[in-house]
Amino acid sequence: MIKVSNLSVVFGAGTPLEKRALNGVDLTLEAGEFVSVIGSNGAGKSTLLGAIAGDVLATEGRIEIDGRDVTRQPTARRAALVARVFQDPLAGSCGQLTIEENLAIAAARGTRRGLGLAIGKRRTMLHERVEALGLGLESRLTDKMALLSGGQRQALALVMATLAKSSVLLLDEHTAALDPGMAEFVIHLTDRFVRDFRLTTLMVTHSMRQALDTGTRTVMLHEGRIVLDVSGATRSGMGVEDLVTMFRRKRGKAIDDDELLTS
Amino acid sequence: MSAFAFWGAVEIGLVYAFVGLGVYFSFRVLDFPDLTVDGSFPLGAAVAAMMIIAGINPWLATLAGMIAAGAAGVVTAVLNVRFKILNLLASILTMIALFSVVIRVMHGPNVSLLRRPTMLSPFYGHGVPDYLVRPAFLLVLVVIAVILLARLLASDFGLAMRATGANVRMARAQGIRTDWQVYAGMALSNALVGLAGALFAQTNGFADVTTGTGTIVIGLAAVIVGETLIRLRGVVFALIACVVGSVLYHIAIQVALEADVLGLQASDLKLVTAVLVTLALILPRLRRGARA
Ligand SMILES: Nc1ncnc2c1ncn2[C@@H]1O[C@H](COP(=O)(O)OP(=O)(O)O)[C@@H](O)[C@H]1O
Ligand SMILES: [Mg+2]
């Protein structure tokens, strides 16, 4: 379970460029929930994921993962609990290392990294997981990661994210950089992995369609606040049109609220 | 070239193979341009030499030289990681400081190890000429080192170190404590260079603070010559390339010095090395530019 309470993040505090990217966000994810996050550019989506992962330090508030307070923990310390796929296909793996070396690094996430051979004991398991992708990459396990296409790398990044246990999977527009065909493939793969491994997931997407079609709940961020949170019957009855209308209305309301506060 | 000169070049090439391996860890594995080695080479030599003079077992003395040099690497790493000093500058600070430290350690700029026991003493005088015993002994050490380092790089720990150098954001997201990986890698890199210094002192019979100057360039030469000649994939071949690169480079230097037509003298060595490394660095770029 993930519990974000009253989370605020301010960048460049005290400078002329001060920016409140998150403004008192409360969000609780039950185990197994798959939440899609939408919102316009600069709404604070990446900042929210970054704060949960540890890359961004919370200015105020508290982040709990499985009952543990991780608010002050650096990224590497909470990595045992957090699996991630980045937007940039190059960011999630090492181009100079081979496919199997990258996978072995991910398989050891959250463990003490000792002097045991990294690949030896995992070879069969890694081969099976890559074969199951159906991309034919199992015959290229000793190729450098840099030789693969963005889509292939992103599919492998998803595999990497699911090799070790995690309490939450964070996906930040992980299909945005891919061509439509590959984006489709990766989103299906995401759906399958989340189901098969019963992952608690937070997925940022730029596509309203994707936000409604995947996952069990949809959250909308606007100017650092959650302005919409739908699940269950309300959500399954919704179309993209409804979401857009609600987005307009909520955004208008958020602006009204701000005006009320400032006037 | 006489057999004596040839094997002399092989010997010095094998000593500097350890510098090549060390530089491979800092420059290639960690992506940390580290000039500390110009100080950790004579530091390893000085510590080993002084301990041998004090009557301590040469193997232990060599180990102590490695530890001292490794500690110098950690100082550079802490300056960079903990105090955010630019990596190159951090290493220059340590390197400069080590010049004074080495002179303190030796109570002067140099010491002689003539007629002192060394790691090689037990192997002399069994019918094999000394000028062959030295490279043979060094080759055994180098082979052992390459096997151990290759095994290290294939471990979970080693992969974590490579990830730290290749993609630090990904490494952290995978739970790798990258700060500690840099400390460990820099310690290992400089310990290897310290070992080279300790071996240099014992094969040449002296330790001298000035032998450190340009160590980094000779190490880079080994790495780059090796990479140019051996293009096989995998870290094992990369490590072997450092060794082969170092030996071939030193043989080439010997040939160049002996060729009267070139009119070179021994003191031109550093200039020749710098020119060679510069060429090796810019040639791939020029080739890429020509294609583009
Ligand atoms: N490291 C940073 N330093 C300063 N401002 C930042 C930083 N990261 C994000 N911001 C700002 O915070 C706001 C939210 O950014 P972000 O979370 O990336 O938005 P989103 O992912 O929803 O598009 C934006 O205005 C952005 O410019
Ligand atoms: Mg974003």
What average pLDDT does the segment A215-236 reach?
A: 93
Q: What's A144's DSSP letter?
A: B
pLDDT score of A247: 76
Q: How far is A88 from chain B (nearest CA, A)?
A: 11
**Shortest CA distance from A144: residue in chain B:** B233
Nearest CA-CA partner of A186 in A145, A221, A154? A154
pLDDT per residue over A156-171, tens digit each? 999 999 999 999 999 9
Is residue B281 included in any domain, yes or no? no
pLDDT band at B173 (very low <50, low <70, confident <90, very high): very high
pLDDT score of A156: 98
Share of chain B above pLDDT 90, in %: 80
B157 touches chain A (CB under 8 A): yes
A119 lies in which domain range? Answer: 94-165
Is residue A263 included in any domain, yes or no? no
CB atoms within 10 A of CB B89: 13
Strands A217-222 and A225-231, sheet pairing:
antiparallel
Mean pLDDT (chain B) is: 94
Substitution candidate for ligand 1 out of A46, A48, A219 with most atoms within 8 A of CB: A46
Angle of the A150-161 helix axis to the A123-131 helix axis, nearest 10 = 130
**A105 vs A245 pLDDT, higher one:** A105
Give the distance (Å) from ligand 2 centre to CA of residue A46.
Answer: 4
Task: Look at residue A203 and tell me whether its pLDDT is greater than 80.
Answer: yes
pLDDT score of A113: 96
**Nearest CB neighbour to A109, from listed B158, B174, B233:** B174
Residue found by looking up tokens 């230097």 in the block: B253
Task: Look at residue B34 and tell me whether its pLDDT is greater than 50.
Answer: yes
Residue pair A217/A231 in contact by the 8 Å Cβ criterion: yes
pLDDT band at B88 (very low <50, low <70, confident <90, very high): very high
CA nearest ligand 1 atom 17, residue: A44
Q: How far is A257 from chain B (nearest CA, A)?
A: 38
pLDDT score of B256: 84
pLDDT score of A263: 42
Is residue A136 included in any domain, yes or no? yes
Is residue B139 included in any domain, yes or no? yes
Is residue B194 included in any domain, yes or no? yes
Nearest CA-CA partner of A223 in A183, A185, A198, A257? A257
Interface of A with B in 58-97 (CB under 8 A): 74-77, 79-80, 82, 84, 91-97
CB atoms within 10 A of CB B228: 13
Q: What's A145's DSSP letter?
A: G
Index of the ligand 1 atom closest to the CA of residue A39: 22
Is residue B271 included in any domain, yes or no? no
pLDDT per residue over A5-28, tens digit each? 999 999 998 999 999 999 999 999
Nearest CA-CA partner of A142 in B284, B237, B170, B30? B237
pTM for the whole structure: 0.92
**Shortest CA distance from A52: residue in chain B:** B173
Residue pair A224/A41 in contact by the 8 Å Cβ criterion: no
pLDDT per residue over B198-217, tens digit each? 999 999 999 999 999 999 99
pLDDT per residue over A249-263, tens digit each? 776 765 555 555 444
pLDDT per residue over B241-286, tens digit each? 999 999 999 998 888 888 877 888 888 888 888 887 788 778 777 7
Task: Look at residue A237 and tell me whether its pLDDT is greater than 90.
Answer: no
Is residue A172 included in any domain, yes or no? no
A-interface mutation test, from B148, B170, B235, B237, most A Cβ less than 10 A away? B170
Nearest CA-CA partner of A171 in A83, A76, A73? A83
What average pLDDT does the segment B163-178 reach?
A: 97
CB contact under 8 Å between A79 and B169, yes or no, is no
Ligand nearest to the CA of A44: 1
Q: How far is B47 from chain A (nearest CA, A)?
A: 29
Residue found by looking up tokens 């939450």 in the block: A168
| Chain A residues whose beta carbon lies within 8 Å of the beta carbon of residue B153 | none
Task: Look at residue B59 and tell me whether its pLDDT is greater than 60.
Answer: yes
Is residue B182 included in any domain, yes or no? yes
CB contact under 8 Å between A79 and B157, yes or no, is no
pLDDT score of A253: 66
B155 lies in which domain range? Answer: 7-212
What DSSP element (H or E) covers A247? helix A240-262
- For A211-220, A236-245, B21-30, B75-84, which range has the lowest pLDDT when averaged over its residues? A236-245
Is residue B110 included in any domain, yes or no? yes
Task: Look at residue B289 and tell me whether its pLDDT is greater than 90.
Answer: no
**Residues flanking ligand 1, CB < 6 Å:** A 11-12, 19, 21, 39, 41-47
B155 touches chain A (CB under 8 A): yes
CA nearest ligand 1 atom 3, residue: A11
DSSP A201-244: EEEE-S-HHHHHHSSSEEEEEETTEEEEEEEHHHHHT--HHHHH
CA nearest ligand 1 atom 19, residue: A42
CB contact under 8 Å between B167 and A93, yes or no, is yes
Mean pLDDT (chain A) is: 93
Task: Look at residue B110 and tell me whether its pLDDT is greater than 90.
Answer: yes
Q: How far is A24 from chain B (nearest CA, A)?
A: 25
Number of domains in chain A: 1
Question: Tokens in use for B102?
Answer: 């080495």
What average pLDDT does the segment A130-141 reach?
A: 96
pLDDT score of B280: 74
CB contact under 8 Å between B159 and A97, yes or no, is yes
Number of domains in chain B: 1
Task: Look at residue A187 and tell me whether its pLDDT is greater than 70.
Answer: yes
Nearest CA-CA partner of A200 in A175, A177, A171? A171
pLDDT score of A250: 73
